[in-house]
Amino acid sequence: MVHLFDSSALKTPLPSVVGELGELFRDAGFELALVGGPVRDLFLGRVSPDLDFTTNARPDDIIAVIRRWCDTYWEIGRAFGTIGMRKAGYQIEITTYRADAYDPDSRKPAVAFGDKLEDDLFRRDFTMNAMALRLPSMELVDPFGGAKDLQAGLVRTPGAPSTSFSDDPLRMMRAARFASALEVDVAPEVFEAMKDMAGRITIISAERVRDELVKLINGKAPWAGIDLLVESGLAEHVLPEVSALKLEIDEHHRHKDVYQHSLTVLRQACGHETGPDGDVPAPDFVLRFAALMHDVGKPATRRFEPNGSVSFLHHDAVGSKLTAKRMKALRFDNDTIKAVSRLVELHMRFYGYGDAGWTDSAVRRYVNDAGELLQRLHRLTRSDVTTRNRRKAERLAFAYDDLEARIAALAEQEELAAIRPDLDGEQIMALLGIRPGPVVGRAYRYLLEERMENGPVSHAEAAALLRAWWKEQPESREAPAAGGEQSGEGEGSK
């Protein structure tokens, strides 16, 4: 299907660089077309800063055409026929028409250049990405009905889904990512192929799976993408801990199982993000993934009690370890692993506050343990309330409102977000007359506990506490008499 594209109907006009490139290639005797995601985005009323083009020109010819036009260019993808460049703030890739042949046991294609735009479009993942805009004539080339599928909200493949997924198994995860990002459904034949071929995802590198998963979680409706992974069987290979939740009955019977509860928590966590300028910018992968994984420790900790109830004792700690292990397998960076697993570990800490109340010491510990994750922990804890019992929901919300108010009040008094002992390591060593070593760490922890329990004290009071503690330590009998009164108490007084 080829027809003129009405660019005047676009809410956002095409960047001028698109037309300029089209004219450059036409004048040089080559074809050029805007292709894939950028064309799909035109139908969605948006223009991406990353523009993809395809051409019958070979890499050397591409460079000859754009060398003097672009701001800079690079040849990293040259072996695959791709030349990258930057122009007027846009990142651009131009790729020679492809006709790939895949090894069924490898993700890497044997590159073969093609001569026809339609053949290049046939090798693409989904029909909505297999559309092109010929330049500079503005002819829309849509041989597989991508525009119709996009309007219908349907993910289909240009050819047989089994062939497409055999060529590149990562496309199965990409289908789930599209379900999240574009809020679309997969065609029945696509879903069946995903179920039949789910095991082939294991030939894809962990890093590529991770990247697709991050995009899925950060989409508009990540719960839809996760559900597609689980229902198709792909999650058994990439997130088996989430699939396992489908078998577990929620102890409060609020949902048919813990899996549905987790999807609800994920959905609610997305709604609790504070936007681009807030404490938890949207989309926030750390919060969202913690919401999905927060109960993955339940299958391993489920116990049937004599009274007929079900318990999941310590599922938070177990879930934190399982989450960290899965994220390591997916090659996440250490900071992200620590943040997500810490939120999973802390997500139950609040419960019981509304009934028993907390001392100021307990509030300080809550804030200190959360550290820079406090705002995310607030939102995760609120998202975890999915009860249909209105009174219970209101009681929990009121209790958390009260906790946040107490945190704010204490923070005004004590700079709660950065709690430290009243003496630092240098002052401890000076007061006790000792050198760096394990004893300094023990003293520091003792003073931190005192700070948590009783709040801030003056420098003199902290020094007195430290000396009293030091008298009880066996090392004090071996150390020379401390002469730190002059070096410690006169400086840094609080």
pLDDT of residue 356: 63
pLDDT of residue 282: 85
The list of the chain residues with pLDDT below 70 reads 1-12, 100-111, 247-256, 275-278, 352, 354-356, 413-419, 478-494
Buried b (16+ CB within 10 A) or exposed e, 322-349: bbbebbeebebeeeebebbbbbbbbbbb
Q: What angle do CA 314, 317, 320 make, to 5 degrees?
A: 145
Q: Where are the alpha helices (DSSP H) in 278-356?
A: 285-293, 298-301, 315-329, 334-346, 353-356
pLDDT of residue 277: 62
Which helix (H) or strand (E) segment holds residue 392: the answer is helix 390-414
Sign, CA dihedral 285-286-288-294, equals positive
pLDDT of residue 255: 44
pLDDT of residue 146: 95
pLDDT of residue 100: 60
For the entire predicted model, the pTM comes to 0.79
Alpha carbons 314 and 303: distance in angstroms, whole number: 11
Going from the N-terminus, what domains does the chain have, and what CATH number goes with each? 2-151 (3.30.460.10), 239-416 (no CATH), 425-489 (no CATH)
* Residue 111 near residue 100, CB atoms below 8 Å: yes
pLDDT of residue 108: 59
Query: 68 burial class (0-12, 13-18, 19+ CB within 10 angstroms)?
Result: exposed
